[in-house]
Amino acid sequence: MPLSSISTTLRTRFLDQWLDPVVTVFDNAEAVEIDGAEPFVRFAIRFADERRLSTGANALHSVIGRVWLQVFVPNQEGTAMALDLADAFAAIFRNWRSLDGSVTCSSPSIDTVPSNDGWHQVNVSIPFEAIFRL
């Protein structure tokens, strides 16, 4: 399973389940206009290590990584909206497994980042593992 297939599986899950109308920014996508008075989120997939799980022809491999959502809410708006968005994202991937069983996610990490440039930021990252044969 090439990285692009893993990315497509995770992105499709996000797009099918994410119902919030906030502006969503994606890596290497067309620039999006951000209204400084409205929240927005940034979705990303980060790959880490790949390892071989078996030997021989058609060997089993594993790739691990994290699915990220960065939530930005204007300063002075409180934390409830940011945490609600973080929780909604976490619910999409928490302990989720793709229909074919090739991609599995686990429990999220949620971290508040010190305010910067007028935004309150909450980051959510969820580990995933994809297993496939090469």
108 within a domain of the structure (yes/no): yes
33 within a domain of the structure (yes/no): no
76 within a domain of the structure (yes/no): yes
Using the CB atoms, write b or e for 6-24: b if 16+ within 10 Å: bbebbeebbeeebeeeeeb
In terms of Cα–Cα distance, which of 87, 103, 83 is closest to 11?
103
**Banded pLDDT at 1 (limits 50, 70, 90):** low
115 within a domain of the structure (yes/no): yes
User: What distance in Å separates the CA atoms of residue 99 and residue 101, rounded to the nearest whole number?
Assistant: 5
Which amino acid is present at 78? G
pLDDT at 36: 86
pLDDT at 115: 79
Range of the domain at 48: 3-28+38-133
Number of domains in the chain: 1
71 within a domain of the structure (yes/no): yes
**88 near 14, Cβ under 8 Å?**
no
Express each pLDDT in 48-86 by its tens digit.
Answer: 998 999 998 889 999 999 999 999 999 988 899 999 999
Q: What is the CATH number of the domain that holds 66?
A: 3.30.2000.20
Contacts of 21 (CB under 8 A, 6+ apart): none
Express each pLDDT in 96-131 by its tens digit.
Answer: 999 999 999 999 999 999 877 889 999 999 999 999
**48 near 80, Cβ under 8 Å?**
no
Can you give the pTM of this predicted structure?
0.91
The mean per-residue pLDDT over the stretch 17-24 comes to 93
97 within a domain of the structure (yes/no): yes
